[in-house]
Amino acid sequence: QEEITQLEQERGVDARFVHPTPHHVLKTSLNGQEKCFINICSNDLLNQPSCKPGRGEDGRLGQHWSLPYSLAPGRSDRDAKGKKCTVYDVVFHPDTLHIAGKNTRFMELVNSTAFQAVEEGCGVKLDKINAKTLKMQYKGVPQPAKDKALPDEIPELSQHHPTEPHYTVKYRSHVDLPQPNRPNKIIITIDLPLLRSAGDIDLNVTERSLVLESQKPAYKLDLQLSYPVDSDKGDAKFTKAKKQLTITLPVLPSSTST
């Protein structure tokens, strides 16, 4: 930190380091494939929140808040079970978090701003629907970051539809099949990084579709299948270590397809 400060001063730049003061932690998933933690912190180097009157999309008068923040680059860490995860720090002025501590809706705005900061600043996709606030103030060890305040945002406060999980579809064929271009199995692998157990899944497979749903976390996948399958002979396996559900479906011969 001292070396960087000296180098910046030699270039005529006043380098400041933001030392985050922990406040609370958000847990979610990153790109639908691994756990992610966002440390919501404070530091008085950031600008204070501000508010001005304005009109919403419906034309009604309301308050438009500006919440300046600073974003630290993501860093690798391990969760409680030793699995790889990514941690981000989003830092606000102490007044921002003071207001949030007294107003639930304002806290939603703070958390939503933090999500948007990470997504836009780091080029990633976060699962905002299934995010949880943990009973801890900071994930990892607080690390100072060079002050690089980003433009403040005023995002949408909420979404009501479930998250579509990340998935892959593969086809398996035997070379000695009468129809070499037609697979005999469809293998669908679905990433569910926030799911606790397979018992929370509602899976429905028909000849031409697969629908997966869960309430907590809120996931929904509605997938149309490229080939008709025998749903009665399918197999589903949940790998808890990877938080993946693998579904193997036998493809019906073309003579019986509809």
Domain boundaries, the chain: 15-146, 167-250
Question: Hey, which CATH number is domain 167-250, 2.60.40.790, 3.40.30.10, 2.40.10.10, 2.40.110.10?
Answer: 2.60.40.790
Per-residue pLDDT of the chain in tens (258 residues, 90 and over written 9): 454 444 444 444 444 567 889 999 999 999 999 999 999 999 988 889 888 776 666 666 666 788 999 988 899 999 888 889 999 999 999 999 999 999 998 999 999 999 999 999 999 999 999 999 999 999 988 776 655 444 444 443 444 578 899 999 999 887 655 556 788 899 999 999 988 888 889 999 999 999 999 988 889 999 999 999 998 999 999 998 889 999 999 999 886 444
Supply φ then ψ for residue 231, to 5 degrees. -65, -25
Strand partners of residue 126 = 30
Quote the CA–CA distance of 249 and 226 in Å, as a whole number: 12
Quote the CA–CA distance of 46 and 50 in Å, as a whole number: 12
Q: How far is CA 219 from CA 24, 157, 212, in A?
A: 25, 19, 8
Q: pTM of this prediction?
A: 0.70
Quote the CA–CA distance of 179 and 184 in Å, as a whole number: 10
Quote the CA–CA distance of 11 and 22 in Å, as a whole number: 32
Q: DSSP states of 154-207 as a string?
A: -------SPBPPPEEEEEE--TTSSSTTS-SEEEEEEE-TT---GGG-EEEE-S
pLDDT of residue 156: 39
